[in-house]
Structure 1
């Protein structure tokens, strides 16, 4: 009987390890760091400089990785000093097993700094499901791509996809790209190669802080574009850039945009408001003019969130009542019962939200 019990123990241990997905992953990754029962993983196989304080990482992905449509974003999970962080980046598909992740270092950015300065070939990253609506449309109208800073990365993804399907050979495409200095311009050689190969692809790069500074996006740039009423416009960059693009090209046949950071909006808001959280039965005081998400985190309340850009909707909740301001475009909302993205909205009055 004693022998029989001892024989059962290894079987029970095996059964427990099969049930415990974390244990399965642990043992699989002893053989191959990309093997997993449930994780979309990628291994850095090449790292190269793309521009000043910007790197491009070629990543080999496993069978569980799902590439999004060109122009979409992916949650990327990285461990820095033992802590798991989630950030959002646009990826470019290179082939069935490889994607390109391009990252610009952000001041005080924990993950971007680690990826640019410390990440090495062989390091493993985890990926979430892709999201975002700035994807290719199935028409042959002229296409205008507007990018500022690291907003160029989804544009590269779009152009790569159009090259693969030969759409780039059939559709007039113009790329206008703003950076501070010459050293900040990423993928310039790639764009030159596309322009040499496809006569209908044109691109311009504007340098806004060189000794001879070129102007930021303005009405003069919009005046260069012919037939905008029958064109599709994509814009990606800081929120101020995207807001300006929307104002200049609101009469385009189709306009799609994504802002990857919030530009400061002039405000004289001071003071605090009360926020009632219906699910946790709490009422707290938070400052006006600051994102609701950041304010909650400062009080050790950890709502679900992802991109912090108002794109992925992980932080969205129902606003029962109260007034809020969108920190990307400055619009205010006083209507009850609306979906509220707490990462890009600040409180203007006392709020009741379903958190």
Structure 2
């Protein structure tokens, strides 16, 4: 993380003394879009294509922005057609005042579509506090295995940039295994290949699953790429199905850390709906089986508090009074009452009562 001197300017001190924070921010940003009493803000200063349907936005941040550790995620808040949207992305620190936000365009993704197609140099984004534990610690094992699928490469890129910057990449054995559909989908490929040329202990394997000759998806044969798995720390990031497979395959690793950025619906022979009772709003609604509770509620025009939609930030957590749920990332079922429930990564398996 970086530490920036946070002394108030005379103008900000005057603004705070005579105006409320909201009004002060309004007038401060008329002078400079990054000035704020307390808001973490960033201005887009450069946009580049990183891969097919993927862009990298170079962002200058203000003094309120808290730089996360490499591998963590930040809430990113944008305003589109008068409505504020929050999504979570892994940022890469470039220097004390700049970060890189890499975004893959999603077909139905309102925010990703805006960031890839509409955002322009000069636009200002709002940020939340960083979170996530998929970081490299000082006591980390010397051998690292990085597994990424699709846009799951962004936290891995952040980790490698940090290790490269601190010169630790030359002292660790690192294997990066990265799955994409086609060659053009591989973001940062040139950087990874350059690292492999500079450091004999860094190995990169990029697999293309939909381009002839097609490479296999993650399976037990890929363990052969690892020399000493029992003394390695494994990081995995990608869709929930990919992360779940990685967790099952790499059970003998010394440490395993993972994050899933999208959920794989549960395939069930039983169709139909589940009744969910919301105690605080005194409603009972029916949502489809096999999808996250959050999505089911949103489809019924109920908007619970949420953040990352990946089960990391815990903003959507609520008390489960009664009922059975299944975690969409790892398949674990929970039938115990009075448990904390992250509705973004759990589906209802029976009628459910939750404190929302």
- CA 311–15 in structure 1, closer or farther in 2 if over 3 Å, else same: closer
What is the 5 A alignment of 1:194-273?
A: 194-273=195-274
Tell me the distance in 1 between the aligned counterparts of 2:242 and 2:305: 28
- CA 30–201 in structure 1, closer or farther in 2 if over 3 Å, else same: same
Partner SS for 2:76: strand
What is the CA distance between 1:307 and its match in structure 2? 1.1
Q: Which residue of 2 aligns with 1:126?
A: 126
Tell me the distance in 2 between the aligned counterparts of 1:164 and 1:242: 28
The answer to whether the Cα contact below 8 Å between 2:231 and 2:254 also exists between their aligned partners in 1 is yes
Tell me the distance in 1 between the aligned counterparts of 2:155 and 2:21: 34
What is the 5 A alignment of 1:138-153?
A: 138-153=139-154
- Cα RMSD (Å): 1.5
Q: Which residue of 2 aligns with 1:278?
A: 279
The answer to whether the Cα contact below 8 Å between 2:41 and 2:124 also exists between their aligned partners in 1 is yes
What is the CA distance between 1:279 and its match in structure 2? 2.3
Q: Which residue of 2 aligns with 1:161?
A: 162
Tell me the distance in 2 between the aligned counterparts of 1:274 and 1:53: 38
User: Which segment drifts farther, 74-83 or 192-201?
Assistant: 192-201
Q: Which residue of 2 aligns with 1:115?
A: 115
What is the CA distance between 1:276 and its match in structure 2? 2.2
Aligned length: 342
Partner SS for 1:196: helix
Once the two structures are superposed, what CA deviation does each residue of 1:204-245 show, in whole Å capped at 9, x if it has no partner?
Answer: 101000021010111110122121011000000111110111
What is the CA distance between 1:19 and its match in structure 2? 4.1
The answer to whether the Cα contact below 8 Å between 1:17 and 1:23 also exists between their aligned partners in 2 is no
What is the CA distance between 1:106 and its match in structure 2? 0.5
Q: Which residue of 2 aligns with 1:30?
A: 30
Q: Which residue of 1 aligns with 2:8?
A: none
- CA 272–141 in structure 1, closer or farther in 2 if over 3 Å, else same: same
User: Which segment drifts farther, 340-349 or 144-153?
Assistant: 340-349
Partner SS for 1:260: strand
Q: Which residue of 2 aligns with 1:331?
A: 332
Gaps of 5+ in 1: 1-13
Once the two structures are superposed, what CA deviation does each residue of 1:81-133 show, in whole Å capped at 9, x if it has no partner?
Answer: 22211111000000000000000000111111111111111111110011111
Tell me the distance in 1 between the aligned counterparts of 2:306 and 2:167: 37
What is the CA distance between 1:17 and its match in structure 2? 8.2
Partner SS for 1:28: helix
Tell me the distance in 2 between the aligned counterparts of 1:115 and 1:238: 21
Tell me the distance in 1 between the aligned counterparts of 2:335 and 2:185: 41
What is the CA distance between 1:16 and its match in structure 2? 9.3
Q: Give runs of ≥4 in structure 1 deviating > 4 Å.
A: 14-17
What is the CA distance between 1:335 and its match in structure 2? 1.2
User: Which segment drifts farther, 279-288 or 211-220?
Assistant: 279-288
Q: Which residue of 2 aligns with 1:11?
A: none
Once the two structures are superposed, what CA deviation does each residue of 1:305-345 show, in whole Å capped at 9, x if it has no partner?
Answer: 01111111100111121101112222211111211110111
Tell me the distance in 1 between the aligned counterparts of 2:22 and 2:200: 52
What is the CA distance between 1:78 and its match in structure 2? 0.9
- CA 19–280 in structure 1, closer or farther in 2 if over 3 Å, else same: farther
What is the 5 A alignment of 1:46-195?
A: 46-137=46-137, 138-195=139-196
Partner SS for 1:101: strand
